[in-house]
Amino acid sequence: MSQSHSHNHEVDFKKAFTIETLPGSIVKISGELPYVELQSERNAALVALGKHVDLPGFRKGHIPTPVLEKHLGEMTLLAEMAERAIAHAYPHIVEEHKLEVIGHPKVEITKIAPGNPLAFTVTVAVLPKFELPEYEKIAKEVNTNHPSDEVTEEELAKQIKDIQRQKAAYERLQSKAAAKADDSDLPAPESEADEKEDAPLPELTDEYVKTLGQPGQFETVADFKAKLREHLEIEKKQQNAAKHRADITDGIIAKTELELPQILIDSEINQMFAQMEEDLERANLKMDDYLTHIKKTKEDLKKEWTPAAETRAKLQLLLNEIAKKENITPDMEQVNKQTSELMERFKDADEHRVRLYVASVLLNEAVMKSLESK
């Protein structure tokens, strides 16, 4: 007999229910509950159904039981009892069979009759079982091949050339516009395509660099080069860090075999849509107008986004699994701090969900830092 904290059940949930594994990381639970389990829900079922019954001569919610039973009919009452008994039994079945369920269960009643056991099936997605690859080895390999963040002389020279070319192109456009304004009959100067990529560029002098950027931004060639190098270094560092991270996670995902439940992919796609709506809102655009503009439907986007959503869902499962294995937990002080900061900004948000979100982001960050340090 299985017991939970507040009540007893005359059911051995482990023996009474069988678990069948279906494709797509879904399980099907099948079994029967004895009629006594339904019987124990009868009063609660009467109260719940009675709330909505209006009968002349009675106050709503105060109809005597025999009258109410007669008005509702046995089958209506039985269906409500069955629903309550299943809702009650489901967490016990999940616990006894050690299932890691996600999303809403789909219940189907296969046999129901007064005085008889209730037979039903439940299909629900579960977290997929998978073997972690040798993630430390994969991370180590990527870490040893980390490219340098230093900006080379070639990169600096190329960037300077690009800036000079942009300036020259901009000046050409200006003079074209001026010529056009002066006399519209003049033949247009040669088109952009005719401009030679290697047209001679002006010499880099202190006078010349003063004309670049904001007024007063650069005083001398040395000053210009130093500031440009600094800017390039920040950019290169960020690009390298992002690519390094992606190389580690891509390497681990490529070596992992797991079957994703659809619900996890859908959840990632929903997040992508939410992010997109937020971005559009900031730009004062409506989702429908934007879709019309890009000539796509939500379904088109869903299709396009599915591969990325699958990668994101897989990565989340992997990071959670690595965190468990390595005993990595998010820094609670940071979780509290960032949760209260977000609650300040979004006053109507559900604090529990915000906290879960923050904890998940910080946990991912902690796992990635640990992989990057291998």
Q: Alpha-carbon distance 121 to 28, whole Å?
A: 7
Q: Alpha-carbon distance 240 to 186, whole Å?
A: 50
pLDDT of residue 62: 84
Domain boundaries, the chain: 13-126, 235-372
Q: Give the CA angle between residues 224, 229, 230 to the nearest 5°.
A: 100
| CATH superfamily of this structure's domain 235-372 | Trigger factor, C-terminal domain (1.10.3120.10)
Spell out the SS3 assignment of 318-339. Answer: HHHHHHHHHCCCCCHHHHHHHH
Contacts of residue 315, defined as CB under 8 A and 6 or more positions apart, other chains included, come to 249, 253
pLDDT of residue 181: 76
Give mean pLDDT in consecutive 10-residue pieces for the chain, a chain of 374 residues: 56 96 96 96 94 88 90 95 97 97 96 97 96 96 90 94 91 87 60 58 89 87 94 95 95 95 95 94 93 95 97 96 96 96 93 94 96 93
Name residue, tokens 């942009």: 166
pTM of the model: 0.73
pLDDT of residue 147: 84
Q: Provide the 3-class DSSP secondary structure of residue 87.
A: helix
Q: Alpha-carbon distance 273 to 297, whole Å?
A: 12
Q: 84, 41 in Cβ contact below 8 A?
A: yes
- 41-70: burial string, b at 16+ Cβ within 10 Å, e else: bbeebbeebbeeeeeeeeeeeebeeeebbe
**Total length of the chain:** 374
Residue 37: its H or E element: helix 35-39
pLDDT of residue 177: 87
Return the closest-CA partner of residue 146 out of 245, 19, 284, 224: 245
Q: Alpha-carbon distance 249 to 315, whole Å?
A: 7
CATH assignment of 13-126, given 3.30.70.370, 3.40.50.1100, 3.40.50.11540, 3.30.70.1050?
3.30.70.1050
Q: Alpha-carbon distance 335 to 321, whole Å?
A: 20
Contacts of residue 205, defined as CB under 8 A and 6 or more positions apart, other chains included, come to 221
Contacts of residue 166, defined as CB under 8 A and 6 or more positions apart, other chains included, come to none
Q: Which amino acid is at 326?
A: E
pLDDT of residue 2: 45
Q: Alpha-carbon distance 267 to 89, whole Å?
A: 27
Structure tokens at 51: 């709330």
Please spell the DSSP secondary structure of 230-263, one letter per residue: HHHHHHHHHHHHHHHHHHHHHHHHHT---PPPHH
Return the closest-CA partner of residue 313 out of 362, 364, 280, 265: 265
Return the closest-CA partner of residue 9 out of 44, 38, 30: 38
Is the backbone of residue 295 left (phi > 0), alpha (psi -120 to 50) or beta? left
Per DSSP, the chain holds a count of helices (H) and strands (E) of: 14, 4
pLDDT of residue 59: 85
